[in-house]
Each structure stands twice: as C-alpha cells, then as structure tokens.
Amino acid sequence: MLKIAVLVSGGGTNLQAVIDAIDNGTITNAEITAVISNNKNAFALERARNSGINAISISPKDFENRDLFNDALIKTVGESGADLIILAGFLVVLPKKMTENYENRIINIHPSLIPSFCGKGFYGLKVHEEVLKRGVKVTGATCHFVDSGTDTGPIILQKAVDVYEGDTPEVLQRRVMEQAEWIILPKAVNLIANGKIHVEDGRVITVA
Ligand code: GRF
C-alpha cells in the first residue's frame, strides 16, 4: 500500500479529487497518511478532517528562520511515513534536501501544458491570465515529478483543454481543473501506486 502525504495551501479541490478517487476505487493500493499545510486556515485541512485524515499545519511564521521551518517540514513529512508526496496547490518552495531525498517520489499538478506558461511566477490565476493574454487556443494541465527546478521535472500526464473567446481567468481556471487537473492527478497517483511508471533519462516511461 502506497503511503501518501499531500501538501496543500488552499482550497484543496485536487486533494479532494484524490480522496474521492481512493474512495471510489479509481486509485488502488494507496492511502493518504497526512495532509500538511503551511496555512492553518486552508480549507484543504477541513477536507482532510472531514475524511478522517490526519491534518497538520506548519507555518513558516512559527519559526525563527526558513531553515528551521524547512527542517520541521522535512520532519513532519518523514513522520507521515509517506512513500509519495503530492503537491496539490502547495505555495512553498521545497527545501533542496527534500527534493533530493524524495527523487521521483514527489509529484505536482500544474495548470498549463508544460513547458508553456510555467516556471517562476506562474502559479494560480497568473497562469490563466497569461494564457488569455497570449491568445493560445488550447491550454491544459500537467502532472509531473518534482526536481530542484520550477516545473522542470519529468512529465507524467498531460491533458489539453480548449480556450474559448470571452473566457476570464477564473472561468478558464475552473475549466482546466474540471477537465484536466482532477482527472490526471488521480490517474498519475494510480499509475505510481501500481508500479506502472518509471523514470528513464529524465522521461517517464509507462509500463503496459
Ligand atoms: C491548482 O490550480 C493547481 O494546478 C495549482 O494550484 C491550484 C490548487 O487548487 N498547483 P486546489 O487547492 O487543489 O483547489
């Protein structure tokens, strides 16, 4: 059984998609052992509690400096016993030690088709604002492994979503979530939980 820690900062709709997929059997061989947030008011923590999952908040504000916070975060994740870490809207840059310790065992969901509209500063509504500004007709979401760069790790799954005339960033964000993020994140978790993928030369290979 794959043990998962989900790291969140906000609403937690992607967390919910994973919880639901485990409940309804779309994801097998996996359980969430902890939901960890840097923001004690994150609704995602409420979602975890509602599902009887250990919900932990750990804020940088409670530590004298970043290093101490990073150490505490690493310790908390370690104590969850997680084999896999999911970044589901986690707005904290991970300590280098963590990306090294968990090589190809941390995944992120990003709301664009990487390598477009990603990297430093591309998070939240900003991504969709830039998509609309550029006038691309297709956007989407990407689930990828996390390395020490920003949105640079091996790509696991992607799904395209149409952009329509008159879209606002908020409308597009919702469509990308519904049609892509909430689908490919659980799918990727299920592939990992069942040993269906591995990384070779920086690329994800799917085993039949
Ligand atoms: C999503 O758009 C995800 O792609 C990004 O952060 C947002 C999190 O939303 N990484 P939620 O907290 O899962 O609702």
Whole-structure pTM value: 0.96
What does the DSSP assignment read for 103-127? TT-EEEEESS-TTSS-STT--THHH
Q: Please give the residue range of the domain that contains residue 62.
A: 1-102
Averaged pLDDT for residues 138-161: 97
201 and 132 within one domain: yes
- Strand pairing category for 84-87 and 106-110: parallel
Nearest CA to ligand 1 atom 5: 89
Q: Is the shortest distance between the CB of 140 and ligand 1 below 6 Å?
A: no
Ligand 1 atom with least separation from CA of 176: 2
pLDDT tens for 74-133 read 999 999 999 999 999 999 999 999 999 999 999 999 999 999 999 999 999 999 999 999
User: Could you confirm whether 198 is annotated as catalytic?
Assistant: no
122 and 153 within one domain: yes
95 and 24 within one domain: yes
Please name the residues in contact with 205: beta carbons below 8 A apart, sequence gap of 6 or more.
Answer: 197, 198, 199
End-of-domain residue from the set 58, 75, 102: 102
Exposure of 113 in the CB half-sphere (CA atoms within 13 A): 12
113 and 89 within one domain: no
Mean pLDDT, the chain, integer: 97
Write down the H helix ranges in the chain: 13-23, 43-50, 66-79, 96-101, 125-134, 169-176, 182-193
135 C-alpha to ligand 1 centroid (Å): 22
Asked if 125 and 176 touch (Cβ cutoff 8 Å), the reply is no
CATH number at residue 151: 3.40.50.170
Q: Of all helices (H) and strands (E), which one includes residue 27?
A: none
Phi, psi torsion values for 162, nearest 5 degrees: -70, 145
End-of-domain residue from the set 69, 102, 135: 102
89 C-alpha to ligand 1 centroid (Å): 4
53 and 20 within one domain: yes
Does the structure show a pLDDT above 80 at 208?
Answer: no
Q: Is the shortest distance between the CB of 11 and ligand 1 below 6 Å?
A: yes
User: What pLDDT does 116 receive?
Assistant: 98
Q: Is the shortest distance between the CB of 110 and ligand 1 below 6 Å?
A: yes
Name the token pair of 194.
């069942």
pLDDT tens for 28-60 read 999 999 999 999 999 999 999 999 999 999 999
